[in-house]
Chain A
């Protein structure tokens, strides 16, 4: 995909009009472009630029929400084509706000960015008990589990979830954590495998864990 084409995908994701993304994806499918290329080079490539702009404070949360909305629509149209081609996701990511905590905007931004980066995301929502995390790990075998907490009390719940995951599974998934009051130091203390300061850094962290540290 050329620079020029990537730019079209980028502008489509920034467009308040949902049909711009729809029309673009349909046009590419009609022109026999491989759905894998539309997804990886087009949508995920454009979302990558948006993530970097967000990180650099060139754009703010509303633009990220808009891009995620448009991208979801794009993937919905692309899905039948992707299924025909047996496309594998980049990795499987389970995320949830731990038990006792009902805050979700941070978690939702991570979900959007991880989806935008090509991960298959299973979002367990808010107030998730540790049993639910354990259940989904045995059933779906995610590569990475993300735990979110906003409150000081629920941060301690993270520690418990991590301990349980590591005790239950001989080859546990990597567990990464985030939330307003969570720090790298705290993540180290509770033996998390990583800490993401914001949604873009969470994606970078996941990529690093899976691809650079050789899990995949």
Chain B
């Protein structure tokens, strides 16, 4: 029982997302950006324009499907779309530099201003418009992925990373208040993206394994993530980087449909621990393999992840902008070999 052959990108991705029928091969998706300078050159659409123009955003993101052969299209490249709408000054960067928030305007809860017309703010609206455009062109056969920042990441934007992390020890109530207020932004933007045409929305929340402990996640974020998932209603993928081998079960408890994970987390171990209660998307190493390795290195890692039983194959995180195109294509090539090793698929 392997399901329909050949499958289509959308059916393949959705099946992987929900841990369903395996079909003829694993799906290749991108919960985070796969845009590289080479892709910008090929499409003639460059950063920073593509962050702020819905047509350009849609077209550049579609290159992931058209040129690389991924099964999904995800139009939000940066982590700063919400930041500008919430009052941070954002430097939108360049073709070789991702955007960055320059100011962090809220050191107190009272300084958090969530605009009533949040969804009308230019940096938010552009994503919704891009999704609508993508739905009308690709919505029938390619999976469309939306992306929003979770309240932890939004707190970094609003307060600065170091202050916010320090408060987890010195002022835990303030941390809770920040998360409580900012989760409304996450929920509103996620719902709007699903309504605009996304099949699933990624919640990117950088309480990363390298920065905070599993207990910090459990105490502060787990209940908030549970509420977010309940209230959004549609499918969600958690993106939370770093080595999270020690907290995978907490993400299951938070009720995400899938977890987008890094190479540092061993795929075989992860598959065993989550026990099909949540899908796993990942986990090709950006630093040593996609960015600095060869297509053969990519192939080897991809095969390891496939044979470990990962549900959707993907880079571990937003790829470095100088990632070679041939390495990104090598992910799709590895997937096309099917479920068993090269030569006997």
Min CB–CB distance A186 → chain B (angstroms): 7
Give the residues from 46 to 62 in chain A that come closer than 8 angstroms, CB to CB, to chain B. 59-62
Contacting residues, chain B, for A60 (C-beta < 8 A): 210-213, 216
Give the residues from 140 to 177 in chain B that come closer than 8 angstroms, CB to CB, to chain A. 161-162, 165-166, 168-170
Min CB–CB distance B264 → chain A (angstroms): 12
B162 and A183 contacting across the interface, CB-CB below 8 Å: no
Quick one: which of B168, B291, B322 contacts A153, CB cutoff 8 A?
B322
Give the residues from 166 to 191 in chain A that come closer than 8 angstroms, CB to CB, to chain B. 180-181, 183, 185-186
Question: Which of A27-35, A63-71, A85-93 binds B?
Answer: A63-71
**In the complex, per-residue mask of B87-116: 1 if CB is within 8 Å of any chain A CB, else 0:** 000010000111010100000000000000
- Nearest B residue to A153 via CB reads B96
Contacting residues, chain A, for B321 (C-beta < 8 A): 151-153
| Cα(A162)–Cα(B210), bound, Å | 29
**In the complex, per-residue mask of B271-293: 1 if CB is within 8 Å of any chain A CB, else 0:** 00000000000000011100110
A62 and B288 contacting across the interface, CB-CB below 8 Å: no
**In the complex, per-residue mask of A124-153: 1 if CB is within 8 Å of any chain B CB, else 0:** 000000000000000000000000000111
Give the bracket for the number of chain A residues in contact with chain B: 20 to 34
- Nearest A residue to B320 via CB reads A152
Contacting residues, chain B, for A105 (C-beta < 8 A): 161-162
A16 at the interface (CB under 8 A from B): yes
Give the residues from 10 to 63 in chain B that come closer than 8 angstroms, CB to CB, to chain A. none
| Cα(A180)–Cα(B321), bound, Å | 14
Quick one: which of B96, B210, B216, B292 contacts A186, CB cutoff 8 A?
B292
Known contacts being A60-B213, A65-B162, A186-B292, is A153 close to B169, with CB within 8 Å?
A: no
| Cα(A84)–Cα(B186), bound, Å | 55
A65 and B291 contacting across the interface, CB-CB below 8 Å: no
A100 and B169 contacting across the interface, CB-CB below 8 Å: no
Q: What 10 A-B pairs are tightest by C-beta distance, nearest first?
A: A152-B322, A153-B96, A152-B320, A61-B211, A62-B165, A65-B166, A60-B213, A62-B168, A16-B170, A62-B169
Given A60-B212, A100-B97, A103-B100, 14 more pairs with CB closer than 8 A:
A16-B170, A60-B216, A62-B165, A66-B169, A69-B166, A102-B91, A151-B96, A151-B321, A152-B320, A152-B322, A153-B97, A180-B287, A181-B286, A183-B287
